[in-house]
Amino acid sequence: MATPHINAEMGDFAPAVLMPGDPRRAQRIAELLFDEPRMVNDVRGMMGFTGEINGKPLSVMGSGMGQPSFSIYATELFRFFGVERIIRVGTCGGIAPQVKVGDVVVAMGAHTDSSMNQLRIPGVNFSAVASYNLVRAAVDAASEEDTVHVGTIISRDHFYFAPEGQAQKLADYGVLGVEMEAAALYGVAAEHGKEALTVLTCSDHLFDSSSDMTAEERETRFQSSLRLAVAAALS
């Protein structure tokens, strides 16, 4: 049965879904991974595809940007399409000094300035954490060429605004990077008793703009985190 944002039927999506923010990236990932990608959603241009890797089904769909957009798609996938695990694949801004542009960040937990998880359990600061099995599978899949950091990130609501001194404080607390979706994904997964993970490529650094990636580099370096995400999805 179609939902307001996904024009598909039960069974169209695989139990595991990779979710980049950009629907065109979802299409490129599907073309890269699958011999015969089948489009399963195109509502609002948010393309979703299902295919197979070594006989195992996998889906890829865009999420849009920000926690509200991600929450809508994750909720509908978990609730109405039999999806059991969602792995966000995306980029982050580096915060910790050891995270360099092109490195992979596996987000074990996500701090947030969003109110979305604050609303979940009255009187509680919800802990937005990834599924341990997926973290382990992703990290186990790393090869010697990959530089992988495992730890916390922050999922912020603003891209262009930050309170004075916030980035430095986050660095002081060992936060690896910043993006805009993971905390919401982890909240929606907990709400539905499902599994979730976020694997990011560092695309730029908040304290070192000299090392920002070009669009082309972004695409190649993205392959490393994609490999880890696929390994987790199919584990």
Q: Which residues participate in catalysis according to the annotation?
A: 204
Q: Does 92 bind ligand HPA (CB under 6 A)?
A: yes
Instruction: Please answer whether residues 176 and 134 qualify as being in contact, where contact means their C-beta atoms are separated by less than 8 angstroms.
Output: no
CB of 6 to ligand HPA, least distance (A): 25
Instruction: Please answer whether residues 41 and 4 qualify as being in contact, where contact means their C-beta atoms are separated by less than 8 angstroms.
Output: no
Phi, psi of 56 (to 5 degrees): -100, 130
- Window of 19-27, 52-60, 98-106, 175-183 that interacts with ligand HPA by CB under 6 A: 175-183
Question: Toward ligand HPA, which CB reaches closer, 8 or 110?
Answer: 110
Candidate list 109, 179, 183, 201; residue touching ligand HPA; CB under 6 A: 179
Please state the three-class secondary structure of 28-97 as a single string.
HHHHHHCCCCEEEECHHHCCEEEEEECCEEEEEECCCCCHHHHHHHHHHHHHHCCCCEEEEEEEEEECCC
Question: Toward ligand HPA, which CB reaches closer, 24 or 38?
Answer: 24
CB burial of residue 174 (10 Å; 0-12, 13-18, 19+): exposed
Count Cα neighbours of 212 within 13 Å in the Cβ-side half-sphere: 7
Q: Does 132 bind ligand HPA (CB under 6 A)?
A: no
Q: Does 207 bind ligand HPA (CB under 6 A)?
A: no
Give CA–CA dist 197/90, Å, rounded: 11
Instruction: Please answer whether residues 50 and 17 qualify as being in contact, where contact means their C-beta atoms are separated by less than 8 angstroms.
Output: no
- In the bound complex, which residue of the shown chain has the CB atom lying closest to ligand HPA? 93
CB of 93 to ligand HPA, least distance (A): 3
Contacts (CB under 6 A) with ligand HPA, residues 185-204:
203-204
Question: Toward ligand HPA, which CB reaches closer, 85 or 221?
Answer: 221
- Window of 40-48, 115-123, 172-180, 214-222 that interacts with ligand HPA by CB under 6 A: 172-180
Q: Does 6 bind ligand HPA (CB under 6 A)?
A: no
Give CA–CA dist 221/146, Å, rounded: 10
- Catalog residues that contact ligand HPA under the rule CB under 6 A: 91-93, 159, 178-180, 203-204
